[in-house]
Chains A and B, each alone.
Chain A
Amino acid sequence: AQSVTQPDIHITVSEGASLELRCNYSYGATPYLFWYVQSPGQGLQLLLKYFSGDTLVQGIKGFEAEFKRSQSSFNLRKPSVHWSDAAEYFCAVGAGGSYIPTFGRGTSLIVHP
C-alpha cells in the first residue's frame, strides 16, 4: 500500500520569499501525485498533479512541483510567496490502478508581512 509523509507540520516564510514544501511517498512503482491547498473553513482545492512525463509540473497560483523518483519526493515550490498563500497544504499519492489516494497530514503555511 502507498503512504505519504509531509515532514513539516508548520512552515513560516516572509512575504516575497521563496517556498518549498516537502512530500515523500512510499510506493513500488510510479504513483499518481497531487498537491491540494485548503484555505481556512474551505474544502481542498487541487493545485497540481503528476502522472507521467515531464517531472516538473506547473500548477495554479504560480506553484510548481518536481517529481524525483530517486528520492521518492514530490516537493512543492513557489518562487515568491504572497500573503494569500497562507493555508494548509496536502500532498496525496495514488497507486496506479487505484482510485483512492492517500493524503499526508498536511503542512500549515504561515506568511509574515
Chain B
Amino acid sequence: NAGVTQTPKFRILKIGQSMTLQCTQDMNHNYMYWYRQDPGMGLKLIYYSVGAGITDKGEVPNGYNVSRSTTEDFPLRLELAAPSQTSVYFCASSSGQGPTGGYTFGSGTRLTVV
C-alpha cells in the first residue's frame, strides 16, 4: 500500500521557470490537499480538492494552480517560479467527510528557486 506518493523529492528551479509537482494516492480518498512548509511557520494550505473536478483555494494560493481530473491525482503547478516559493511542499489526502480520519501525508518535495 503506497499511500500518498509525491514526485520529485528535490528540485531546483530558476526564477521564471515553471514546473508541476505530482501527487498520487491509492487509497481512494476523495479529499486531497497541498501544503507548503516553511521553517517555524508550520503548514500553510495552498489548494484543496473534495473530489474529482472540484478544487478550491486555501490560505496561500497565489502563484500556484491545481487540477483534479481523477480521484488519484492532484498535481500542483508553479508558474513563473519566484524565490518566495522556495519551500517544502506536502500533499495529503483524507477519507470521509470532515477530518475524522486524519490525513495521510506524502514525504514531500523540497523546492529551491534561485
Contacts and interface: CB of A to CB of B under 8 A. Distances in A.
Contacts of B94: 99
A96 to B, nearest CB: 8
B98 interface: yes
A91 to B, nearest CB: 9
Interface stretch (B39-47, B60-68, B69-77): B39-47
Contacts of B48: 100
Interface string A92-108: 10101111110111100
Contacts, number: 62
B50 A99 contact: yes
A84 interface: no
Contacts of A101: 99, 103
Interface residues of B, number: 26
Given A90-B43, A99-B50, A100-B33, A44 B105 contact: yes
Interface in A74-93: 90, 92
Interface stretch (A13-21, A45-53, A63-71): A45-53
Interface string B7-37: 0000000000000000000000001010100
Interface in B88-105: 90, 92, 94, 97-100, 102-105
Contacts of A100: 33, 45, 48, 58, 99
A94 B42 contact: no
A98 B58 CA distance: 13
A90 B42 contact: yes
Contact of B43 (A32, A96, A99, A103): A103
A46 B40 contact: no
Nearest to B41: A105
A94 B102 CA distance: 10
Contacts of B4: 43
Nearest to B90: A43
Contact of A94 (B50, B99, B104): B99
Contacts of A45: 105
7 contacts: A32-B98, A34-B99, A43-B106, A49-B102, A99-B50, A103-B43, A106-B40
